[in-house]
Structure 1
Amino acid sequence: MDFKRVVVTGLGAITPLGKSVAEYWQGLSDGVNGCDLIKQFDAAKFKTRFACEVKDFDPTNYLDRKEARKIDRFSQFALIASDEAVKDAGISKDNVDVDRVGVIIGSGIGGLITFQEEVINFASGDGTPRFNPFFIPKMILDIAAGHISIRHGFRGPNYAVVSACASATNAIIDAYDTIRLNKADMIITGGSEAVVSAAGVGGFNAMKALSERNDDYKTACRPFDKDRDGFVMGEGAGILIIESLEHALARGAKIYCEIGGGGASADAYHITAPHPEGLGAQNVMRAALKDAGMKAEDIDYINVHGTSTPLGDIAETKAILNVFGEHAYDLNISSTKSMTGHCLGAAGALEALACILAVTKDIVPPTINHFTDDPELDPKLNFTFNKAQHRTVNAALSNTFGFGGHNASVIVKKYVA
């Protein structure tokens, strides 16, 4: 079958490093730390009292006040980032067929803040069922895609993808497949998450998944550092506009890069722990390379899942060495979660965006907060510690892995006419 080529023509982001793509990329390039003490709720009694929140966020700066009240924070993020991406791509009803423009957005959890608020309000009352009429449509995680399509009038394929922290990457792969199979001309895709809340932090604390470095929270997210002790929660949204190459050329769109391919796999091992040898991670990277028709030696940069957990970082490194062999030592590897925290269901989109900009600008963002080498990690690997590096990036691979053993990888590469 003759697949269509798929390119990226628009980007949008709202992140702990800034509320636009330009601010996000500047923060990544400069190695800015997005972590601070939690502002959204009183975390004084929690084991973890810090997170990478979107700073100084007021939804009414972007959305009508009445509209904002009806929409959970994760959907607000998705709408705001999609507005930036649509504008960046130069989309108008004059240059697209809205019946062939779809929206596929991933989220790991969806409207957890809304769910928490409604349950607390009910539990603190007299038992009379008084719920916000927008409770359900605020909470369900498919609603972000719905809001975006309604806002812009896009009537193509529209749904959500959920695979925990691999959600946004799976959404991008679904969007890519939809276009290359000629089932749509363009897809607005990516992911959004906003669960910095008592339920979110408390739940991950109970699993012992989060860093508890409250005395030095600014350096708590330490991927590949010997003293890493868990991930730091983040929030935000990343949105990509992707379309067939012929459609982009026909409307005179600027092209950031081309999507090479994507892969998905399962660890089939444990609900939260990675396979100790990174078997699922090996399989998903190989699947992405095969789908892209590329060799391991074609990849210059890997934006790793790299959450700063003791087991996860080791398993992913083993997988990279197994898949890339000697070429692993020529790669740049970095975890941008060291700056943004782990944005869960939005992570794949924000990290794919980092790969797109690395390919576009030939800059590899760093892994910050590195202090002590881990003797269990190969010292010859280039983790791009603490400072961005300039190099030619012809192709980059983004890894995302989720609870349940879900793995997804996507490859982006320089566009060549």
Structure 2
Amino acid sequence: MKQRRVVVTGLGALTPIGNNLQDYWEGLKKGVSGAAPITHFDASKFKTQFACEVKNFNVNDFIDRKEARRLDKFSQYAMVASDEALVDSKLDIESLDKDRVGVIWGAGIGGLETFQQEVTNFANGDGTPKFNPFFIPKMIADIAPGLISIKYGFRGPNFTTVSACASSANAMIDALNYIRLGYADVIVSGGSEAAVTGAGIGGFNAMHALSTRNDSPETASRPFDADRDGFVLGEGAGALILEEYEHAKARGAKIYAELAGGGLSADAHHMTAPHPEGLGAKNVMINCLRDSGVSIDEVDAINMHGTSTPLGDVAESKAIVDVFGEHAYKLNINSTKSMTGHLLGAAGAIEAIASILPLVEGIIPPTINNQTRDEKIDSKLNLTLNKAQNRDVRIAMSNTFGFGGHNACVLFKKIEE
């Protein structure tokens, strides 16, 4: 049986550098930093006092006030981004066979703010359990796709993938395969996260994972720089409408790109540190290329996981050279986390968007904040430093890795008839 092709027909974004798709893309091209002092809570006693927060966002501009109170911020973000993607897709929702429309979403943590608030309220009380009846439904990581499906009546496959920072890339790969196998025609996929809370910052600080560059937040996320000191926590959501090609073609849909394949692997090495030789990263890219039917010399660009951590950037760049050989030096490589920070479970989704739009516009967003290139990273790699570069991009990959050694890679192609 011929394998069904899967294309991207709608996009939505709510990020630290833009609250919609167009603003996000403009921020990426201009090299805008989303890092700033934390406003969500008093962070004055924390080692890290800044993050990449979503800015100027009023949920009541999008969701009814009563309904919004029943949703954790990560679900609010998911609803807003998925709504934008569905509008962008121009799907006639009422005419769809809703049994064949699904929602597969990624979240690494879920309702952290809700969990923190409820436990704190209990701890500060008189010991009598007085939990909000919406505590569990607000907190659980699977609630976002459930809410999206309830709003639109989508009755197809519906679940959340949880693989730490690889979660939304995993969601896209699952969606790809459900459509390929004929279980759905359209799937809303992506991811959301809202972990800029006391628990989130404090927990990552305890691991020594976050940058503590409090005197210069806007330059703190600096992948590949010799002076990087950790990642910058971000929040937000990205959504993609994935659709079977013939289904999209029959309705005259605008097609951004083809999701040609995905790869998965495990480091099987350490709870939080990457394999020092980039073994898992190497395997996931090989698996993605094999699944896509693409040779190494056809790839033009890679959006690296590139978190700005001392170990991760080196291991991943080594893996790229190991996989691509001499062709690695012809690639445009970048890390858009230098601008957005690290959105954890939503990273794969917003970085997929940052990989798709170069196929459309021929512009590679930069890796900003690079002042002194790390000597441990191959000097011949084009890391698209500090300034966007023009390039005719036909094939782009995006890497996303998570604590626990979870690795996911997706590959997008310019659509070909």
TM-score interval, smaller chain: over 0.9
Deviation at 1:216, TM superposition (A): 1.4
Aligned to 1:225: 225
The residue aligned with 1:372 is: 372
- The aligned counterpart of 2:305 is 305
Cα distance in 2 for residues equivalent to 1:277 and 1:107: 28
Whether the 8 Å CA contact 2:318–2:378 is kept in 1: the answer is no
Q: Equivalent residues in 2 for 1:9-408 (5 A)?
A: 9-408=9-408
Aligned residues of 1:35 and 1:50 also touching (Cα < 8 A): yes
Gaps of 5+ in 2: none
**Separation in 1 of the partners of 2:177 and 2:236?**
25
Rounded to whole Å, the distance in 1 between the matches of 2:242 and 2:313 is 31
Q: Which whole-Å CA distance do the structure 2 matches of 1:413 and 1:95 have between them?
A: 29
Post-superposition CA distance 1:349-368 (Å, at most 9, x none)? 00001101011111100000
Deviations along 1:253-307, whole A, 9 cap, x unmatched? 1111101100000000000000000000000000000000011111100000000
Q: Which amino acid aligns with 1:358?
A: P
Native 8 Å contact 1:95 1:251 kept in 2 = no
Conserved 8 A contact 2:187-2:243 = yes
- What residue identity is the alignment partner of 2:206? A
CA contact (8 A) 1:30 1:388 kept: yes
What SS class does the counterpart of residue 119 from structure 1 fall into?
A: helix
5+ long unaligned stretches in structure 1:
none
Counterpart-to-counterpart distance in 1, 2:400 and 2:94: 36
Instruction: Measure how far apart 1:185 and its partner are.
Output: 0.4
Contact 2:229 2:309 in 1 (8 A): yes
* Residues in 2 aligned to 1:118 and 1:396: alpha-carbon distance in whole angstroms: 43
Shift of 1:218: 1.2
> What's the CA shift for 1:93?
3.1
The one-letter amino acid of 1:8's match is: V
Hey, what's the Cα distance between the residues in 1 that align with 2:405 and 2:386? 30
Show CA shifts across 1:146-175 (max 9, x none): 000011111111000000000000000000
One-letter code aligned to 2:364: V
By how many angstroms is 1:238 displaced?
Answer: 0.3
Q: Is the 8 A contact 1:16 1:34 kept in 2?
A: yes
Distance in 2 (CA, whole Å) between partners of 1:353 and 1:257 is: 10
Structure 1 residue 374 displacement after superposition? 1.1
Deviation at 1:8, TM superposition (A): 0.3
Give percent identity, aligned residues only.
Answer: 65
Measured in 1, the distance between the counterparts of 2:60 and 2:191 equals: 21
Query: Is the CA contact (8 Å cut-off) linking 2:186 and 2:243 kept in structure 1?
Result: yes
The whole-number CA distance in structure 2 between the counterparts of 1:402 and 1:394 is: 27
- Higher mean alpha-carbon deviation, 248-257 vs 307-316, is at 248-257
Task: Judge conservation of contact 2:285–2:409 (CA < 8 Å) in 1.
Answer: yes
Q: Using the alignment, how far apart are the partners of 2:235 and 2:206 within structure 1?
A: 19
Give the partner amino acid of 1:388: A
Aligned with 1:188: secondary structure?
strand
RMSD: 0.6
Matched AA of 1:17: I
Are the structure 2 counterparts of residues 94 and 71 from structure 1 closer, same or farther at C-alpha, using a change threshold of 3 Å?
closer
Using the TM superposition, name which of 371-380 and 118-127 deviates more. Answer: 371-380
| AA partner of residue 77 (structure 1) | Y
Cα distance in 1 for partners of 2:356, 2:27 equals 15
In 1: Cα distance, 2:366 partner to 2:375 partner: 20
Distance 1:59 1:131 in 2: 24
C-alpha separation in 2, matches of 1:28 and 1:145:
27
Aligned residues: 417
> Which runs of at least 4 in structure 1 moved beyond 4 Å after TM superposition?
none
Contact 2:368/2:385 (<8 A) preserved: yes
CA distance in 1, matches of 2:218, 2:24: 18
1:400 and 1:169 map into 2 onto residues whose CA distance is 7
Q: What code does the residue aligned with 1:137 have?
A: P
1:134 & 1:389 partners in 2: Cα distance?
A: 47
For residues 227 and 204 of structure 2, the distance between their equivalents in structure 1, rounded to whole angstroms, comes to: 19
Q: Distance in 2 between matches of 1:269 and 1:93?
A: 45
- Contact 1:273 1:312 (C-alpha < 8 Å) held by counterparts: yes
Alpha-carbon distance, 1:95 to partner: 3.9
Quote the Cα distance in structure 2 between the aligned partners of 1:81 and 1:289: 29
Please tell me whether the aligned partners of residues 273 and 311 of structure 2 are also in contact (alpha carbons under 8 angstroms): yes
SS in 2 for 1:263: strand
Match of 2:6 in 1: 6
Q: Which TM-score applies when normalising by structure 1?
A: 0.99
Contact 1:99 1:154 in 2 (8 A): yes
Shift of 1:373: 1.5
**3-state SS of 2:289 partner:** helix
State the Cα deviation string for residues 194-246 of structure 1 (Å, max 9, x = none): 01000000000000000001111110000000000000000000000011001
User: What is the rounded CA distance, in whole Å, between the counterparts of 1:94 and 1:39 in structure 2?
Assistant: 40
Looking at structure 1, the residues matched to 294 and 247 of structure 2 have their Cα atoms a distance apart, in angstroms, of: 24
C-alpha distance in 1 between matches for 2:304 and 2:400: 7
Q: Contact (CA 8 Å) 1:103, 1:158: kept in 2 or not?
A: yes
C-alpha displacement of 1:94: 4.2
Q: Deviations over 1:5-32 (max 9, x none)?
A: 1100000010001110000000000000
